[in-house]
Homo-oligomer: A and B are copies of this chain.
Amino acid sequence: MSLSDTAGKRVGHSRVEMTEMVMPNDANPLGTIFGGRVMQLMDIAASIAAYRHARCNVVTLSVDSLEFRRPIRVGHAVVLHAWLNWAGRTSMEVQVEVYSEDLMTGEHARTSTAFFTFVAVGPEGRPQPVPPLLTLSQEEERRFQEAAQRRAERLRRKEREEN
């Protein structure tokens, strides 16, 4: 983390937009994209957002529950938006929203939303501090608070599972 980053970075700094076309190998015999392929794209988009905030290597720690609300077909586009909701000392929460777009008609819809957490790691693989996240709007502040609650819930769940 460079000196200039200790003051924090804005949400907009690390925002990612990713557009893909669904290929035949991404799809099941019905011709609709595998849920797992969507998760793979989400993880890459979320990782890039986390890299941009931390400017060091990042590793996926967890994904909150997610739904696949509509099928996305071969030949359609998938558009992903990823941004930071929250940053702690060494970990971050990234929100990813997935939209499908029928390229023939322009019809589009949100198909999934997920929350990924990442930890920043140094060259020897140990957790490493990340810049604070600066929230500039009420919307960003609300997301920060909700992410902090999800984090508390994740820690409780983890504790429960380990006992």
Contacts and interface: CB of A to CB of B under 8 A. Distances in A.
Interface of A: 16-21, 23-25, 27-30, 32, 34-37, 39-45, 47-48, 51-52, 55-57, 59-68, 71, 74-75, 77, 103-106, 116, 121, 125, 154, 157-158
A125 B41 CA distance: 25
Given A36-B39, A52-B106, A66 B63 contact: yes
A48 B18 CA distance: 12
Given A30-B59, A30-B125, A67-B158, A21 B39 contact: no
List the number of copies, as a whole number.
Answer: 6
Nearest to A118: B35
Contact of A154 (B21, B23, B43, B65): B65
Contact of A44 (B24, B34, B60, B154): B34
Most chain B CB within a 10 A radius of its CB, from A30, A52, A116, A158: A30
Given A19-B16, A40-B36, A45-B19, A55 B25 contact: no
Contacts of A154: 65
Given A28-B47, A55-B104, A104-B55, A65 B63 contact: yes
Given A55-B106, A77-B48, A35 B60 contact: yes
